[in-house]
């Protein structure tokens, strides 16, 4: 069974995340959507609420399982039996950042491969950071997040 992890903060999940996940489904038998919990970061949405939100967005997709985790992502891959890690790339700077992490992960556990999926052009400017800022200042994020996520953002 080919298993992958799509890790992220998903604070909140965006249409760009959804696109990367949907495009990954044909590549793997099972994909874990891993909500990384980082105690040193200030989240807008609690990890439990993010888990509920992502589950609502993908309620009809049996190949996906949503989980939270702490610690090194590559160690979590080992724990769940994932041989691949999926990462979305929006920009050149994303690529440089993700490449460095992938190389470090490979040095730690060479059996886990990082797969980069380039975002569609229409999604390249969407990031959770920008969506959080819009939310903080009362803006409308409906064009950036999946409709099933909206009730969790109020």
Ligand-binding annotation for 127, yes or no, is: yes
Query: Is 41 marked active-site?
Result: yes
Distance of CA 154 to CAs 12, 18, 139, 140, 142, Å? 12, 20, 11, 11, 12
Ligand-binding annotation for 22, yes or no, is: no
Query: Is 17 marked active-site?
Result: yes
Query: Is 49 marked active-site?
Result: no
Ligand-binding annotation for 40, yes or no, is: no
Which residue is listed with tokens 């920009």? 91
Ligand-binding annotation for 144, yes or no, is: no
Ligand-binding annotation for 116, yes or no, is: no
27 token code pair? 């590549």
Ligand-binding annotation for 91, yes or no, is: no
Given its phi and psi angles, is residue 77 left (phi above 0), alpha (psi -120 to 50 degrees) or beta?
alpha
Query: Is 128 marked active-site?
Result: yes
Ligand-binding annotation for 124, yes or no, is: yes
Q: Are 87 and 117 in contact (CB under 8 A)?
A: yes
- Catalytic site residue from 50, 84, 128, 132: 128
Which residue is listed with tokens 């060479």? 110
- Catalytic site residue from 41, 59, 136, 154: 41
- Catalytic site residue from 15, 17, 50, 84: 17
Active-site residue list: 17, 41, 90, 128
Residues marked as binding for substrate?
Answer: 9, 41, 73, 87
Residues marked as binding?
Answer: 9-10, 17, 41, 73, 87-90, 98, 123-129
């Amino acid at each position: 069974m080919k298993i992958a992890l799509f890790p992220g903060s998903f604070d909140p999940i965006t249409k760009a995340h959804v696109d990367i996940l949907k495009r990954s489904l044909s590549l793997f038998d099972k994909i874990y959507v891993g909500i990384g919990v980082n105690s040193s970061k200030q989240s807008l949405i609690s990890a439990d609420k993010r888990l509920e939100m992502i589950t609502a967005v993908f309620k009809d997709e049996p190949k996906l399982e949503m989980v939270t985790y702490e610690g090194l992502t590559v160690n979590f891959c080992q724990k769940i039996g994932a041989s691949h890690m999926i990462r979305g790339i929006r920009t050149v700077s994303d690529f440089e950042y993700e490449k460095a992490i992938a190389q470090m992960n490979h040095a730690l556990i060479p059996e886990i491969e990082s797969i980069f999926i380039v975002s569609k052009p229409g999604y390249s400017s969407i990031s959770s950071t920008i969506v959080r800022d819009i939310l903080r200042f009362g803006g409308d994020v409906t064009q950036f997040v999946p409709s099933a996520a909206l009730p969790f953002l109020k």
